[in-house]
């Protein structure tokens, strides 16, 4: 998860700086430094071990009692516990701040809540069990003054450590099940904004409905150089469809992303909205969500005037995969309408020529010509 977040940050930085064609820099000196440090620590531990061993032997040669190795091991366990707990605290405070900002969609808040509840529960179990494990190793290390109690079996303990995790996991699974159900409810509701997003190696194509609010049907058999998505122009609803370079979304309005792929499996990934769904060739998928925070507000909240929401591809789909992204802007309804009125029709002049449309606005001409199309 953390690696994914780091990569996301790197992509965001590259997109913001507009350095798309520069190769991403990997800091190999940093990696070598940590590998070397690891070996140095190993060497240090081995040297200390040898010194203790020699000290132990010299004590025995002098006729004294040797080192109490059980005490040494007990103290090492305690040191390991403290270092480990500090490491867990460090990863939360340092790496925790690198995670995504607050969810910018309605369902995203629910996803984050689930994530927080699971993290709190598992961390509680983690801290309790680690403290007990290493604490007991230290407290009950071997001593000549006491004898160990042999406990071959205890039904009460067995019941507790079977039933308690079963209840906790059931609660988590049921909670997750209902959250998943509500997120994946993709029933078309009147007033939803339908946006087509189609993945191919290596770009996303966007199609917006025109004035009629409807997207025309598509058929992969109709795909050509100028009709990249294979839109079916036998249907009137296709005429006013628009193509777009940036994904503009009006705030607080449900969006239905109609997701498709034309070659291999891609994946629509919009981390700030907690949206991810595969784009599968031949199997249209739908994600319905409502963005709640405008790009402008996010810029103020994060104190970053260059911030942009992005849609990425989250399936390693080939050599150009890393660059498969588009900017997403969440704006007010008025700004959205202004932007929409400036978008180019999908039915470009080249496409009109290819389909022998004398005038796309005249349905009569279309109906005369359409018999000759695609047959
Ligand atoms: Cu892809």
Sorted by where each begins, the domain ranges of the chain are 193-372
The per-residue pLDDT for 238 is 78
State the CATH architecture for 193-372.
Answer: Sandwich (2.60)
Find the range with the poorest average confidence among 3-7, 23-27, 220-224: 3-7
Q: Find the helix or strand (DSSP H, E) in which 40 lies.
A: helix 28-61
The per-residue pLDDT for 365 is 43
Give the tens place of pLDDT for each residue, 196-240: 999 998 899 999 988 777 888 888 887 877 787 788 777 777 778
Residue (of 374, 339, 345) closest to 359 by Cα position: 345
d(CA 135, CA 324): 50
Around ion ligand 1, which residues have CB less than 5 A away? 266, 313, 317, 324
Instruction: Tell which wins on pLDDT, 15 or 52.
Output: 52
Q: How confident is the model at residue 23 (pLDDT cuts 50, 70, 90)?
A: low
pTM for this one?
Answer: 0.72
Give the tens place of pLDDT for each residue, 304-351: 999 999 999 999 998 989 989 999 999 999 999 999 888 888 777 777
From the CA of 136, how far away is ligand 1's center (Å)? 51
Backbone angles phi, psi at 59, to 5 degrees: -65, -45
How is 212-238 classified by DSSP, letter by letter? Answer: TS-PPPB-GGG--SS-TT-B-TTSGGG
Q: Find the helix or strand (DSSP H, E) in which 52 lies.
A: helix 28-61
The per-residue pLDDT for 16 is 46
Cβ 15 vs Cβ 325: under 8 Å? yes
First to last CA, the chain: 50
From the CA of 268, how far away is ligand 1's center (Å)? 8
d(CA 319, CA 41): 39
Whose structure tokens read 């069990």? 129
From the CA of 267, how far away is ligand 1's center (Å)? 6
From the CA of 324, how far away is ligand 1's center (Å)? 6
Cβ 239 vs Cβ 347: under 8 Å? yes
From the CA of 278, how far away is ligand 1's center (Å)? 10
From the CA of 373, how far away is ligand 1's center (Å)? 31
From the CA of 110, how far away is ligand 1's center (Å)? 27
18 φψ region: left (φ > 0), alpha (ψ -120 to 50), beta (else)? left
């Amino acid at each position: 998860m953390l690696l994914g977040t780091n990569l996301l940050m790197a992509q965001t930085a590259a997109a913001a700086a507009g350095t798309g064609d520069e190769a991403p820099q990997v800091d190999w000196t940093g990696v070598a430094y940590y590998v070397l440090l690891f070996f140095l620590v190993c060497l240090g531990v081995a040297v200390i071990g040898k010194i203790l061993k020699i000290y132990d032997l010299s004590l025995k040669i002098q006729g004294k009692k040797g080192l109490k190795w059980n005490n040494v091991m007990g103290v090492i366990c305690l040191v390991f516990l403290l270092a480990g707990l500090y490491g867990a605290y460090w990863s939360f405070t340092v790496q925790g701040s690198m995670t995504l900002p607050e969810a910018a969609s309605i369902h995203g808040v629910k996803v984050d809540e689930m994530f927080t509840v699971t993290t709190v529960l598992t961390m509680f179990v983690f801290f309790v069990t680690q403290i007990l494990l290493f604490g007991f190793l230290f407290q009950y290390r071997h001593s000549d003054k006491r004898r160990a109690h042999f406990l071959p079996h205890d039904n009460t303990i067995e019941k507790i450590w079977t039933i308690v995790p079963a209840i906790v996991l059931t609660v988590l699974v049921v909670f997750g099940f209902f959250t998943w159900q509500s997120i994946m409810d993709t029933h078309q509701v009147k007033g939803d904004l339908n946006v087509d997003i189609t993945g191919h190696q290596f770009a996303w194509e966007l199609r917006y409905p025109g004035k009629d609010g409807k997207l025309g049907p598509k058929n992969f058999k109709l795909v050509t150089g100028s009709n990249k998505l294979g839109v079916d122009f036998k249907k009137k609803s296709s005429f006013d469809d628009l193509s777009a370079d940036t994904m503009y979304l009006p705030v607080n309005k449900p969006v239905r992303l109609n997701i498709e792929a034309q070659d291999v499996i891609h994946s629509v990934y919009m981390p700030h909205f907690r949206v991810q769904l595969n784009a599968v060739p031949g199997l249209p998928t739908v994600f319905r969500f409502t963005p709640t925070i405008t790009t402008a507000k996010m810029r103020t909240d994060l104190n970053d005037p260059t911030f942009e929401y992005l849609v990425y591809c989250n399936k390693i789909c080939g050599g150009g995969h890393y660059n498969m992204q588009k900017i997403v802007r969440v704006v007010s309804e008025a700004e959205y309408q202004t932007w929409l009125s400036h978008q180019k029709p999908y039915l470009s002049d080249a496409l009109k020529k290819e389909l022998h449309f004398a005038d796309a606005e005249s349905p009569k001409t279309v109906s005369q010509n359409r018999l000759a199309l695609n047959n």
